[in-house]
Structure 1
Amino acid sequence: MNPTIFKNYRQWLLDQPMPKGKRSVLLAGLELFAQQGFNGTSTAQIADKAGVSQATIFKYFKTKQDLLLSILQPIIENFFPLYRDDFLDSLSQFKTLQELIHFIVRNRYQFLKDNADAVLIFTTEMLTNDTARELFTNIIKKITTNYLQ
């Protein structure tokens, strides 16, 4: 997948060059994992929602965990760094505390609203999934190392 930084995860998925079946599976996984959680979602439900067979899911992803990580990895590697950098760069433009607070609340609210499914999955999996937590930790270490150099 193209590592281009994005502002809206769902739109980013729609814009990526990939087979239609793979895109459908990713979008269905995004929606169902957000609604029902990873453990509460079966591959049969994902296949049904995506309008594909379970074999199509396993054509693109070896396991349901691989599907989850394919959703989370672009979020961790691209999505959060963009918002962090944009957010921090924007803070210097405000002259009063009131303007600053208004911006922070509006900006973060819009972020959550635009990406509710992705944020919900990310938050849940960071609390419950060792593999996802390790992926996130490795990205943070990499960012921190690059920042300190």
Structure 2
Amino acid sequence: MTNKEKYGNEIIELAANTALFGLKNGKPAICEEIKCEECDFYESDSCKGSTYNFREWLNSEYVEPPVDWSKVAVDTPILVRGIESDAWTRRYFAKYENGIVYAWGYGATSWSARGSGDISDWKMAKLAESEE
């Protein structure tokens, strides 16, 4: 899926209001509504935003932004797996510590788990809502 496909409706809405586009945190934005320093096209004190750059971004492959696990609430549904070839397993987020995601075991939550020993660390994790 390209960025154009992912953000098509938002781009159409923006296009009705302006001809100048930027990107803020990987999402389309109206240039006049964001500071230059907030724009993903901004580099070394100058704007690299242009019709060409925006068109190039539109046609590039969409990349899911990384999750800030330190801000994920306990008991949030997540998908985990030990290695790339494993199927995703449904779990509930327990904690994030030293760069490692932990989930409650066997589908438990903080309310139903038997204690702090009922959590496991996982090599791969993603938010369940990002499943496609």
TM-score, normalising length from structure 1? Answer: 0.23
Find the structure with the greater CA-based Rg: 2
**Larger RCO: 1 or 2 (CA < 8 Å, sep 6+):** 1
Larger helix proportion, structure 1 or 2?
Answer: 1
TM-score, normalising length from structure 2? Answer: 0.25
Larger strand proportion, structure 1 or 2?
Answer: 2
